Every structure is written in structure tokens, then in C-alpha cells.
Amino acid sequence: MSKGLLWRFSLIALFITLSLLYLTPTLVSPLPSWWKGLLPKDRIHLGLDLQGGTHLVMEVETQKAVEGTLDLIATDLEDALSAKTLRYKQIARQGGDRVGMTFYDRGTADEAQKLLKDKYPTMTLVPPYDEGGFVHLQLRMNEKEAQERKDRAVAQALETIRNRIDQFGVSEPVIAREGLTNIVVQLPGISDPKRAIELIGRTARLEFKLVDETVNPAIATPGTIPEDTEILMEKRTDPTTGAVTEIPLAVKKKAIITGDLLTDAQIRIDSQFNQPYVAIEFNSTGARLFDQVTAANVGKRFAIVLDNTIYSAPVIRERISGGSAQISGSFTEKEAADLAIVLRAGSLPAPVKIIQNVTVGPSLGEDSINKGLMAGAIGVALVILFMGIYYKLSGMVANFGMILNVLFLMGALAALGATLTLPGIAAIVLLIGMSVDANVLIFERIREELRLGKTPIAALDSGYDKAFLTIMDSHVTTLITAAVLFQFGTGPVKGFAVSLSLGVIINLFTALVGTKAIFDFVLNRLRVKRLSV
């Protein structure tokens, strides 16, 4: 056997071995105990349309992101004015685009105006006006800046949701932006969609707030509590019955530390009470603030608030240094694990609202798989029959190349960890057609050369040479189309593009190298005098 022929057969044998190796976890279940170490263990991932799962469309409430920014500006202004000993009556967000300030005199308002121009040069300052014996100032966010914050909120929400889903452990999720405010999430094969939805949609705004012990929350009303105090509910779950009760608690509105300063959150089990809790770590800024706050408030209670719900309100027994703390409460282990996930992944910049929730059952997925496989099997059988009848033994070589195509493609999907979807199965069926088409082009050129009286070897070489450019042209244009689909498509369209791209490359190899090697071996080594085509 010549070196060129040996090299080609070696390459084909290598690809067959690798494909079977990567397909074994998909075809054999369970795997034998010795199948460990370096051998592949992952099955081919199936898309949402094949194995079922959940399809969500969520709307990011972007206006809330703008309002959250204005709230932060209001808090920042309180600190800045206090630092310069400028007296003010009230600073608060007004509407959805401005922060309002009330001063006792014109002179203070003028000084504050200079400070605002330096501190927030991109925002519009409404000229001060007198009303009710006070001087009022307003700082307004312009439309362009508000829109930029809304766009940024959607991008941040998408990234946060992606982090949460990754830590939740969903394989091959689809997470993509849709339009200006929507995010599409597809979770194939999840067993607890309700838990996943709660995890994704939780805002996870973590705050530490001091408890206002001067207010009795049981009898307090909005008109009787101080302006800087609010009533929040403390959630308690009975560990025996699972019953949830809510107890009102008065806390200061201003957060002393927020979850933005966290670096890690892990679930732990209390060795004394065997209860799960979440251990958190602060960054250097958070550690310093936590140290200062606990040192200044020994003996007082501070509430750990997540999304306006109090999870615990312990008493500060001593100064806490080192930058670590724990969130304890009446958690189940699963609730504590989910809380740790959302704290690690960060909070959403704005709440998200689920506007579409479609759950595809596994029975529908199984039915889709069976129909897809049936369609593929019928297509392959018909093609094998036609090629065997019309092109005789040469047709059987083409059939062998087609089977290699499917084997190599499935092996490549498994090796690359790609997801097989119904459109992906359609791409495989299309690949079968392309494989046959390439061989028909070659065989027709060979027939023409044989009619001219050439020998089988000469007709074979000439047939492959003449069909080469046509095959390359059709495959390259298809590959370009697949690349465009992958770049601009989403979900199943991308799955189709991946399968099609791999199939085109593999078909070029089997049509121009694989089948040619078989013909060369038969004609040169076995001394066949007549070509059956």
C-alpha cells in the first residue's frame, strides 16, 4: 500500500475510533466501572425541544434601575451635605427622574447648588424656588443618561442571571437578550422549574440596617413613625410544621452596609443546632465598614434584609473584625443554598417580571426524539436503496461515506459538548442529502470519462478532479450561510448552524478523501479491471 493511501486509511480509522469513543457514554448506560480517568464521560446534550424543560421570557423593570440610582444619589447627597455642615430639611427621590432637596434658607441652597454642579455635572439642576417658607432644589437626570442606565441594567441583569444559572447547575442553558427590555431563558431538563424561577427572579438586594428600638412596630402607623424609619417584616419558618409567620420590625431606612461589598457566600451547618446558615465574606471596604459599625453599635440589634424581607435581627454582642459574618434564620438547607447562590452571583440591578413561562414536558420531548429519529432512519434507508440500485457497487461506497458522515458528526457533537436540537436533526438529514449530492456529481463525471474510453483508474482520477471545484463551491457557500445563522440566530437556529457547519466540513473530508481512498485501494491493490458505476 502506498504511503498516501496508508495515511488516508489511518486518518479514517482514527476518526472512527474517536467518534465511537465519544459516543459511548451516549449509547451505553451505565458506563462500566473501568471507564474512568481520561475517557470521555459526557453524553450528547439535548436541547429544550428534545428533552423538555422551561422557556421563560422576563422583562427587566428598567425604570426601577433609574429610581435605584436616584436613591443612591440622594443618600450620597445626604453624606456630602452633612460633611460640609450644610443643614437641610429633606432629601428624597421625586418621581422617576429627579432628586428633590429642601433647605431652610437661600444661602445654604446656593452653597448646595455649587456642590451639585461639581458633583453631578451631567445632570440638570432646576433653579431653586421658595415655597412654604423653605427653599427647594431639584437635580434631574436627562433622558439620554436614563436610557443608558436602562440599557446597562438589562446587560447587568443578563449577566447576573447567567451567573446564577451556571451556579445552579443547568446544562446548556440559553440566555439571550430580546428587544430593549426582555431576556429569554431556556432551561433544558431541569427537574424543579419552580425553584429555578424563584432563584432567577430574586432581586437579592442585601442590606444591613439598624433596628429602631424606639418604635413599637405592633402599633406603629406610617404617620406615627419617624421619617427615617420603616416597618419591614421578619420571616420565620417553623422547622417542624414548615409554617411561615411574619413579624413586623421597625428598622432605619438607611442601610449601613449593602451586599455590593460581598466577595463570597457559602452554606454552612451550625454544629450546635444542626441548622444551615450562610457564611459571608466582605471585601476590604466592607470589612472596614463592618468593623466600624459593629464597634459603634454594641448592644444594639441590626437587621439582615434581603429584598425588603428581614431574615434575622441579632444583637451585636461585640465588635466584629476580619470581614466575615453569617446570615442565620429559619432556613431549610435548599433555601440557604439558593441564598448563597444569589449572593455570590450578585444582585439584579432591577426587578425582573416573568411575562411568559412555558414548561415543555418530557413526554413531548421523547415524542419529538422518536419522530426525528424515525424521519432520519427512513431518509437514510431510501438513500441507501437508491444509490445501490442506480450506481451499483460505487453507490455502496457512497453509502459507506454517508454513514461515516453521520458517525463523525455525532462524534464531533459529543466531543465539542454541543447541544442536539430538532433543527440539529434536520441539519443531519440535510447533510445526508449533501453527501449523496457530492457523490452523484463525482460518479456522473466518472461515467462521462468512461464513455470517452478512459481506463477505470484514469476515469476515477479525472472524475474527482472535475467535480472538486463544484463540490468545494457548494460546501463553502453553505458554510458561509451557517456562519451567518450562528452569528445572528438564537437557540434552535444556532443548534442548526452548529450541526450544519460540522456536517459540511466532515462531508468534504468523506467525499473527497474517504470514498477516493476506497476506490484507489480497490482499483490499485485488488487489480479490478472494471468500475461498477
Last residue of a domain, one of 309, 326, 358: 358
Instruction: Please give the pLDDT value at position 506.
Output: 92
- Which ranges of the chain have pLDDT less than 50? none
Q: How far apart are CA 308 and CA 232, in angstroms?
A: 7
The answer to whether residues 369 and 512 belong to one domain is: yes
The answer to whether residues 506 and 412 belong to one domain is: yes
The amino acid present at 392, given as its one-letter code, is K
* Phi and psi based region of residue 388 (left: phi greater than 0; alpha: psi -120 to 50; beta: remaining): alpha
The answer to whether residues 451 and 314 belong to one domain is: no
Pairing of strands 174-178, 276-282: unpaired
As given in the structure block, the three cell numbers for residue 280 are 459571608
Judge contact between 81 and 91, C-beta under 8 A: yes
The answer as to whether 164 is a domain residue is no
The answer as to whether 169 is a domain residue is no
The answer as to whether 191 is a domain residue is no
The answer to whether residues 207 and 349 belong to one domain is: yes
The answer to whether residues 286 and 243 belong to one domain is: yes
Q: How far apart are CA 43 and CA 94, in angstroms?
A: 55
Q: Which residues contact 370 (CB under 8 A, 6 or more apart)?
A: none
Provide the number of structural domains found in the chain.
Answer: 3
Instruction: Please give the pLDDT value at position 20.
Output: 92
Last residue of a domain, one of 145, 162, 185: 145
The answer to whether residues 498 and 418 belong to one domain is: yes
CATH value at residue 244? 3.30.1360.200
The answer to whether residues 343 and 373 belong to one domain is: no
Q: How far apart are CA 459 and CA 532, in angstroms?
A: 12
Q: State how far Cα 114 lies from the chain centre.
A: 45
The answer as to whether 441 is a domain residue is yes
What backbone torsions phi and psi does residue 116 show, to the nearest 5 degrees? -65, -40
The answer to whether residues 41 and 87 belong to one domain is: no
The answer to whether residues 415 and 468 belong to one domain is: yes
Burial of 125 (0-12, 13-18, 19+ CB in 10 A): middle
Instruction: Please give the pLDDT value at position 292.
Output: 83
The answer as to whether 522 is a domain residue is yes
Condensed to tens digits (0 to 9), the pLDDT of residues 78-112 reads: 878 888 888 888 888 888 889 999 999 888 888 88
Q: How far apart are CA 345 and CA 201, in angstroms?
A: 13
The answer as to whether 187 is a domain residue is no
CATH value at residue 134? 3.30.70.990
Instruction: Please give the pLDDT value at position 177.
Output: 86
* Secondary element (H or E) of residue 25: helix 3-27
Place of cell 449572593: 343
Give the residues across from 269 on adjacent strands.
Answer: 276
The answer to whether residues 471 and 391 belong to one domain is: yes
Range of 128's domain?
63-145
The answer as to whether 117 is a domain residue is yes
The answer as to whether 176 is a domain residue is no
Last residue of a domain, one of 128, 145, 162: 145
Q: Which residues contact 32 (CB under 8 A, 6 or more apart)?
A: none
The answer to whether residues 483 and 382 belong to one domain is: yes
Q: How many CB atoms are closer than 10 A to CB 239? A: 12
What distances in angstroms separate CA 456 from CA 70, 394, 446, 469, one per listed residue? 82, 12, 8, 21
The answer to whether residues 352 and 437 belong to one domain is: no
